[in-house]
Amino acid sequence: MIRKIGMILVITFALVFGYWYSFLALDEISMEQAEIIKQYQYNSEQAVELILTEIEPHLFTFTYKSFDQSIVNGQISYPKNQADKYPVLIGISAMGRGYQRWWSESFKGRPTVTQVNKITELADKNGYVVISIDARYHGKRKNPDRTLRSIMNDLHFFGDKTDYEAMIKNTVIDHRVLLDWVSQQNNLDKSNISVVGYSMGGQIGLILASLDQRISKIISIVPPYLDDKTALVAPKNFISLLKNQDVLLLTADDDENASKSENDFIFKHISTPKKERIVFSGGHILPDNYVDSLSNIIAN
């Protein structure tokens, strides 16, 4: 009898909590696209200086000041084969991952399960300069007083979306400032700038490419689906702006962060006719050989 009462209490709590979370914790807030885009404005006329430190031939770490004077950390590699102008690939990491993942199969003893280091190898073979930076609250930009875990806990359990949305939005603008620097470099091909992002990086990449026409190609890999509970950073509110870019969307048929119908919705509403989608079997971590599917779009 006591056990039965205990089970009833557990189920009742779960139902109450589920209702609270679904309907009270984080309400959907509709925002006009123009209002959302306005939040991503910044002073694009400020000078951008990357302070480069060579760590080995063709490979440099760097820092620069972003739109709000925040210090951005990153890494850039140049292909061994010299050229007058290099195409550019900007890699954007998954949540919790630093820029180092794009050049290493493991970091601090943990494997790069997203396989993005293989994307850098592919890009290097095709003559690309590869650049990646840390997102806000990631890598060298961690804040011990505001951890990434606390940001996500607040988002999921208490309905405070402010820091999460600011993290994504400001990271997008950090990349736009980086694009300002790329545009100033005579040895970089401004007509051939690609962005590749995995998971949260795919989310950021879709928003960035939608807002910034300097990007010619976007490869978004298993981006999470977000609704208007976080309208300011939901890719669905931006993708109608993708008019002329080449877009490749990689999704999984059993992704815990985006259902089949949600991925179908995203692909349908990407406005450019130059779009392609590849669906993999499995979950959010794609099979090791998924990078092979990127060969043609990176080579062209």
Q: Residue 192's closest CA among 211, 217, 219, 210?
A: 217
Determine the distance from the C-alpha atom of residue 171 to the mean position of all C-alpha atoms in its chain, rounded to a whole number: 9
What residues contact residue 282 under an 8 Å CB cut-off, 6+ apart?
252, 253, 254
pTM: 0.89
d(CA 128, CA 125): 8
Provide the 8-state DSSP code for 20: I
Query: CA-CA distance, 23 to 121, in Å (whole number)?
Result: 46
Mean pLDDT per 10-residue interval, the chain, length 300 residues? 41 33 49 93 90 96 97 97 95 97 94 97 96 96 92 82 96 98 96 97 98 97 96 97 95 97 97 96 95 88
Residue 53 phi, psi dihedral angles, 5° rounding: -130, 115
- CA pair distance 293, 131, nearest whole angstrom: 21
